[in-house]
Amino acid sequence: MEKFVLLLELIGTVAFAVSGAVTALKKQMDVFGVCIMGVTAACGGGAVRDVLLGRVPPVMFCEPIYALTAVLTSLVTFFLALRRVAWMRSHLFERLLLVSDAVGLGVFTAVGVDAAVRTGFAGESFFTVFLAVLTGVGGGVLRDVMAGDRPYIFVKHFYACASLIGALLCRALWDVAGRAGAMLLCLLAVSVLRVLAARYRWSLPKAPLD
């Protein structure tokens, strides 16, 4: 089971590292900036989660596999862009980026629930769900702030709400479907909601003041 969770975490790490690296490339950052943004997007949410759980230093510093995976992914993305690979400017790449971001959000939401339950907060449902959403969206918020952008989750599409729904579903099904089943259903639900929100431009209501 631990190998299953590790596999999910690495998939999420790669997915979010790509999104961080692409954001850095769009901001014309150098290779160091690309790597930092990739690591921030991939590991930032988990680091904040670990601090709240009392895991100091955070897991990303104790088990370098996550940060190293993010760095490697960022370097590959940078060198593909450096060689001006044509498909990185295609609609296919945009779709792949969306899917990877959706999968990453689903993975880290599920991992957040798992971390809370395994640390002994299974009875604290509010905290468990909060921690799961923080794990899912935290890296993206840090990425956007470092890039000088308004955090994506506050302005576009059905993003944090997809993570929230997935976290609630995961916690509700934890004792019914089991650890692996609940995490997989969470991953699936969040990913589908994220893709549909982008496809059909679902957004929360806004109140114009002008």
**Which of 11, 195, 8 minimizes the C-alpha distance to 99?**
195
pLDDT at 207 over 90: no
pLDDT at 208 over 90: no
Between residues 87 and 79, which one has the greater pLDDT? Answer: 79
Does residue 210 fall inside a structural domain?
A: no
Helices of type H across 27-157: 31-52, 59-62, 65-82, 91-116, 125-146
Q: What DSSP designation does 208 have?
A: -
pLDDT for 199: 84
Does residue 94 fall inside a structural domain?
A: yes
Note the pLDDT tens digit of each residue in 11-51.
Answer: 999 999 999 999 999 899 999 999 999 999 999 999 999 99
pLDDT for 35: 97
Does residue 207 fall inside a structural domain?
A: no
The total number of structural domains that make up the chain: 1
Does residue 208 fall inside a structural domain?
A: no
Q: How far is CA 163 from CA 20, 72, 79, 120, 199, in A?
A: 18, 26, 31, 22, 17
Least confident of 140-149, 185-194, 196-205: 196-205
Does residue 205 fall inside a structural domain?
A: no
**121: number of CA atoms within 13 Å, CB side?**
20
Residues 175, 199 contacting (CB under 8 angstroms): no
pLDDT class of 130 with cuts at 50, 70, 90: very high
Does residue 14 fall inside a structural domain?
A: yes
Parent domain of 81: 2-200
**Which of 9, 108, 115, 114 minimizes the C-alpha distance to 53?**
115
The residue-averaged pLDDT of 82-90 equals 68
Does residue 209 fall inside a structural domain?
A: no
pLDDT for 81: 85
Q: Which pTM does this prediction carry?
A: 0.91
Find all residues with CB under 8 Å of 177, minimum gap 6, and list them: 185
